[in-house]
Amino acid sequence: MNQRASALWVRLKANRLAYSISILITLTVGILIGTVISSGVRGQDKKSSSDVAPLTVPSPQVLSNQFSQISKQLEPSVVNINTESTVKTPRRRRGAPSGDDEANPFDDFFDRFFGGQGGQGGPGGGSIRERSLGSGVIVDPKGYIVTNRHVVEKADRIRVRLQDDPPGLLHDAKVIGSDQETDLAVIKIESNKPLPIAKLGNSDSMQVGDWVLAVGSPFGLQETVTAGIVSAKGRNIVPQRQFQSFIQTDAAINPGNSGGPLVNMTGEVIGINTAILTDTNAYAGVGFALPSNTVAQVYNQLVSPDHRVSRGSIGILFNALDNPAIARVYGTGSGVTISDVTPGSPAEQAGLKVGDTIVAVDSKPVKNGDELVADIAARKPGSKIVVGFIRDGKRQEATATVADRAKLFAARLGDDDEGGPDSGPKESKLGVSVQTLTQEGADRLDVPAGKGVIVKDVKAGSFAEDVGLSRGDIILEINKQAVDNEEQFNRVSGTLKSGQDVVFLVRQRGAGRQGGTIFLAGTLP
C-alpha cells in the first residue's frame, strides 16, 4: 500500500512538472512571436514612410497673376489726398423767419452718395475744422493729378502722399482748375524728379461684363485694390447734372476712393471713381466712375491758360428725363421738347419757343437731351448751328449762334464758380465775396435789374458771418450807399474802418416776393 501511494505521488509530481514546463514554453513562444510581430510592424512603418510623396506648393507662374500685375503697375501713380477745411455749422440768420432757408438741390446728392460734406454744429452756429481723405491719379510726370472736385472743394490746405513716401511725408498741392458740371479737379504737386503716371484708356471700348479694378484709399487705407465688372454704361444718377454720364461697376468703392482710377485689364484708366449708391454710406455693390473720355476733355481745358471748361449752349431748358406723354402731346416721337427759353439767349434770337421740339442739329438727328447737350456743349462759343425743330406738326429750321454756357446759365448753374483758383470774386476785408448780379439772377430772385450784388461766399468767423450774411443773399446797400456791382461794393467796403458801424440792406436768400428786405448790422472790429 505504501509502495502504491509512493508511486502515485511520484507520477503526480512528474505531471505537474511537465505542465509547468508546458506553460513556460507557451509563454516563451508567445513572447517571441509578439516580439517578431512587433519588429515586423515597426519595419513596415519605416518602409511605408519612405514611400509617401512630400506636399509641394505650385510655382506662382502657374496661377493667374493678371490682377497683381495691373496693381503693381498702377499703384505708384495713385495718391492719397488729405484736405483740411473750415466748415461753417448751421445757424439761423438774424431777422430771418423760421424755415426760409433755400435748400441746395445737390445737398441730398452728397448726403446720399458721400455721407455729407461737412460736420454738424450746435444751434448757436460757428465753425469747425474738418479733415477728409480722398484719392487721385497722376497723369503727368510733372505732378499733375486728376481727382474729384468734391475731394478738394473749399479746402484750406491740400496735401498729397505718394506710394513710396516715408510715413509723415506729405506734399502740398494747389488747385489748377475744377469743373462743377463733371465734379472733376486738377491739382499739382512739386517734385524734383519725374513722377510715375497712369495711362489713360478709351472708355468707349468698355462693355458691360468687362473686368475692372478700382484703386484708391478707402477709409484712408492706402494702396487698396478691389475687383469687379462693368455693370452698366451711361448711368445718369443725378438728372440735374447733364455732363455726368457714369460707368457703373460692382468693384468695391467706399468713402476715400473718390478720385481714384477705375482700370481695365490692360492697366489703362477708363474712369475716375466718383460716387456710390448706398443707404449706409458704405459699399453696397453699386459704384459710379466718370468715363475717361470725359475726363480727358475736361482735363485738357483745365490745364489750359484759362483753367476753366468752356461749353457751348443756345439757352434752352428741357425735362431731364424722357416722358412719352410730352412727345404724344407735342406730336413727335423723338427729339427734345423745349420747356424754357432764356431771355436774350441765342435760342430766343433764333426764334425758338417753348413747345418746339428740336429733332436735329446741322442735319444730324437728335434723339434725346443727352445727345443735344453733348453736341452743342462741344461747340465753341461764337460758332453757328442750324437747328431743325417741329412746331405745330411742321418741320422748320433756324440758325443760332452758340454762346458760353457758364455765362448764359450763371445763376442756374449754382452758387459755385467754375474755373481755376484765380477766377471768381475776391474776398473783402468784411469776410465776404460777391459778384455782380446777372439779368437772369435778378429775375429769378425778384430784384430789379442792375441792383445789388450776390454773396458768393462768407468766411468762417468773419464780420460778415457775425452779422448774419449768408451765401445767396443780395446786398443792395452798405451804409445807405448803393452797391449795384462788384466795383461799387469794393469801393464802398474799402472805405470802412475798424470800429465803424456797418449796416447792410439785404434781400435774403429764399425770401422771394414775400420776404422783402432787412437790415443786417454790426460794428467792424
Per-residue model confidence as pLDDT tens digits over 273-298: 988 877 666 677 788 999 999 999 99
pLDDT category of residue 514 using cuts at 50, 70 and 90: very low
What per-residue confidence (pLDDT) applies to 158?
Answer: 93
What per-residue confidence (pLDDT) applies to 255?
Answer: 83
What per-residue confidence (pLDDT) applies to 22?
Answer: 52
- Dihedral sign, CA of 185, 189, 194, 196? negative
Mean pLDDT of 343-364: 91
What per-residue confidence (pLDDT) applies to 212?
Answer: 94
- Maximum distance among all alpha carbons in the chain? 164
User: Of the listed 77, 178, 258, 493, which one is catalytic?
Assistant: 258
What per-residue confidence (pLDDT) applies to 46?
Answer: 52
DSSP run (H or E) holding 295: helix 292-302
Half-sphere exposure of 18 (CA within 13 A, CB side): 6
User: Of the listed 71, 150, 171, 307, which one is catalytic?
Assistant: 150
Q: Above pLDDT 70, what percent of the chain? A: 69
Which distant-in-sequence residues (6+ apart) come within 8 Å of 420 by Cβ? 175, 176, 177, 178, 302, 306, 307, 308
pLDDT category of residue 508 using cuts at 50, 70 and 90: confident
pLDDT category of residue 171 using cuts at 50, 70 and 90: very high
pLDDT category of residue 7 using cuts at 50, 70 and 90: low
pLDDT category of residue 253 using cuts at 50, 70 and 90: confident
SS3 (DSSP) at 447:
coil
What per-residue confidence (pLDDT) applies to 445?
Answer: 65
Residue 31 main-chain phi, psi, to 5 deg: -65, -45
User: Of the listed 132, 135, 178, 183, which one is catalytic?
Assistant: 183
Please determine, for residue 300, whether its predicted confidence score (pLDDT) is greater than 80. yes
Please determine, for residue 119, whether its predicted confidence score (pLDDT) is greater than 70. no
Q: What is d(CA 197, CA 195) in angstroms, rounded to the nearest whole number?
A: 6
Residue 150 catalytic?
yes
Please determine, for residue 204, whether its predicted confidence score (pLDDT) is greater than 50. yes
Instruction: Tally DSSP H helices, then E strands, for the chain.
Output: 13, 27
Mean pLDDT of 66-92: 80
What per-residue confidence (pLDDT) applies to 95?
Answer: 41
Other beta carbons less than 10 A from residue 124's beta carbon: 9
Q: What is d(CA 320, CA 236) in angstroms, rounded to the nearest whole number?
A: 10
Please determine, for residue 190, whether its predicted confidence score (pLDDT) is greater than 90. yes
Q: What is d(CA 318, CA 376) in angstroms, rounded to the nearest whole number?
A: 14
Other beta carbons less than 10 A from residue 301's beta carbon: 17
Residue 48 catalytic?
no
pLDDT category of residue 175 using cuts at 50, 70 and 90: very high
Please determine, for residue 102, whether its predicted confidence score (pLDDT) is greater than 80. no
Q: What is the pTM of this model?
A: 0.59
pLDDT per position as a tens digit, 391-422: 988 999 999 999 988 777 664 544 433 333 33
**Bigger pLDDT: 386 or 43?**
386
Which distant-in-sequence residues (6+ apart) come within 8 Å of 518 by Cβ? 95, 96, 505, 506, 508
Residue 307 catalytic?
no
